[in-house]
Amino acid sequence: MLDSKTIRQQFLDFFQEKGHQIVPSAPLVLKNDPTLMFTNSGMAQFKDYFLGNKVAPFKRVADTQKCLRVSGKHNDLEEVGHDTYHHTMFEMLGNWSFGDYFKKEAIEWSWELLTEVYKLPKDRLYATVFEGDAKDNMPQDSEALALWKQYLPDDHILFGNKKDNFWEMGETGPCGPCSEIHIDLRDASEIAKMPGRDLVNNDHPQVVEIWNNVFMQFQRMADGSLQPLPDRHVDTGMGFERLCMAIQGKQSNYDTDVFQPTIQFIAAKSGKKYGENRQTDVAMRVLADHIRAIAFTVADGQLPSNNKAGYVIRRILRRAVRYGYTFLGFKEPFLHTLVPLLADQFSGVFPELKAQQDFVAKVIQEEEAAFLRTLEVGLRKLDEIVKSGVQTIEGKVVFELYDTFGFPLDLTALIARENGLVIDEVGFQAEMAAQKARSRNAATTEAGDWVILLEDEESEFVGYDYMQTNARVIKYRAV
């Protein structure tokens, strides 16, 4: 079986041989992009090249990019653990052409890589092509269609609409059609009952999208019209964990060697087996997923805190702690013990975790300990509410759980859902607003125990440093 390290390396080698410069992943936290809280795609770090603000130093680039999809336009958090192919943090393999090659090479190479290097079965692959939109004066992508016809029979090519097959950076700016590759990993007997094409883009866990090829060829103008771009670009993104699932012949990303070491560690420590019970399986997957997001984000300079990106990380962590507590019996801090495992597993590709392993583990351990101090009482409170037979958890209670017991809103909503209840979110927001008004003049230190030096838009995160006290100093280098 091809292991995940080899799969990643083969991707990079393949594109290097085709003249691409291999570059490192950008950090998960983009300090110089106010429009994006976290890096959520491979192209994020190259945005300025597409916008024409900067000239790309290389015309062809490839990499594996750490991505986080837990906020904004892409938020996959609710899927994680319940489905088997969406993660909070994942690796996006990508190749780019900045004004160099275009559709012909991009499609040819994606086909060559998948079928000749990785030897994925051709009859299991599907491609989607932009169908056009007459109302909006957008042409069908007949070029991509003709190219795919060289490799795939007609019934393996599907047309997609603006939503799925046309990419735009924003209201205005570079844009263009995209072409996705999907793979059908079901048993032959299942395929005989229903062709894969009926399941493409249908949330089927074994018929999944693996690769997206975006062809930037237009500029969306302020009046809504499309103008051809003088320089046309290619931007592709392939889900590494999904690719591993396909190549390794697994049913789930979590069954690949990307996640199995973590899952087996969690299983052993909890005294439960993976694959025996749906509820504990989901919990193990959530932990295996969330710890990656937390560990790599902390390593990239974002500490858990009470607002913005820091609170996103705190929410993910608390969600994981509660899954571990309720379903796997982890009553003491546990997540931090997974850090050394991850640090070793990814030391070759993302050495930043290994380099700061002890610090990252310590941050996570303290966060876990802090939440575990209030979790049990909060859960008991919720339990009483569930038992009382109400349908809706009052905003006042949701707020108390948030304010006194550290339950993020989405965590209370999740537990409510598990018990067939809903929460009064409007009531919660009202309580929240009232509290903000009360404390408007009171000085708050948002970073809590952490002392942040020099953090502003003009600085770049360079690493953590220790002080003798409980507090840490985060170093930023002015840029």
Site of interaction with Mg ion (CB under 5 A):
209, 212
Task: Establish if 168 lies at the interface with ligand ATP (CB under 6 A).
Answer: no
Task: Establish if 246 lies at the interface with ligand ATP (CB under 6 A).
Answer: no
Given 39, 206, 212, 302, the residue binding ligand ATP (CB under 6 A): 212
197 vs 475, beta carbon nearer Mg ion: 197
Task: Establish if 237 lies at the interface with ligand ATP (CB under 6 A).
Answer: yes
80 vs 372, beta carbon nearer ligand ATP: 80
Q: Residue with the closest Cβ to ligand ATP?
A: 239
7 vs 382, beta carbon nearer ligand ATP: 7
Task: Establish if 242 lies at the interface with ligand ATP (CB under 6 A).
Answer: yes
Which pairs from 446-450 meet CB under 8 Å and 24+ separation?
Answer: 446/305, 446/306, 446/307, 446/310, 447/303, 447/305, 447/310, 448/305, 448/306, 449/366, 450/303, 450/305, 450/474
Least distance between ligand ATP and beta carbon 79 (Å) = 7
Binding part of the chain for ligand ATP, among 30-38, 86-94, 390-398, 423-431 by CB under 6 A, reads 86-94
Task: Establish if 211 lies at the interface with ligand ATP (CB under 6 A).
Answer: yes
Least distance between ligand ATP and beta carbon 180 (Å) = 6
- 320: nearest Cα among 246, 254, 266: 266
Residues contacting residue 217 through CB under 8 Å, at least 6 positions apart: 102, 176, 177, 228, 229, 232
Task: Establish if 177 lies at the interface with ligand ATP (CB under 6 A).
Answer: no
93 vs 416, beta carbon nearer ligand ATP: 93
Residue 335 near residue 321, CB atoms below 8 Å: yes
Task: Establish if 210 lies at the interface with ligand ATP (CB under 6 A).
Answer: yes
Task: Classify residue 140 as exposed, middle or buried by CB count within 10 Å of its CB (0-12, 13-18, 19+).
Answer: middle
- 12: nearest Cα among 68, 4, 430: 4
Question: Which three-class secondary structure state does DSSP give residue 208?
Answer: strand
Residues contacting residue 51 through CB under 8 Å, at least 6 positions apart: 169, 173, 174
CA distance 476 to 406: 29
Encoded one letter per residue, x for contact with ligand ATP by CB under 6 A and - for no contact, window 30-69 reads -----------x---------------------------x
Least distance between Mg ion and beta carbon 69 (Å) = 7
**Pairing state between β 226-239 and 89-98:** antiparallel
Residues contacting residue 321 through CB under 8 Å, at least 6 positions apart: 330, 335, 368, 371, 372, 375
CA distance 404 to 133: 52
Tell how far CA 250 is from the center of its chain.
Answer: 20
CA distance 134 to 383: 54
User: Residue 210: which of ligand ATP, Mg ion, none does it interact with, CB under 5 to 8 A by kind?
Assistant: ligand ATP
Task: Establish if 325 lies at the interface with ligand ATP (CB under 6 A).
Answer: no
Binding part of the chain for ligand ATP, among 99-107, 204-212, 306-314, 367-375 by CB under 6 A, reads 204-212
User: Residue 31: which of ligand ATP, Mg ion, none does it interact with, CB under 5 to 8 A by kind?
Assistant: none
User: Residues interacting with ligand ATP, by CB under 6 A?
Assistant: 41, 69, 76, 86-87, 90, 92, 209-212, 237-239, 241-242
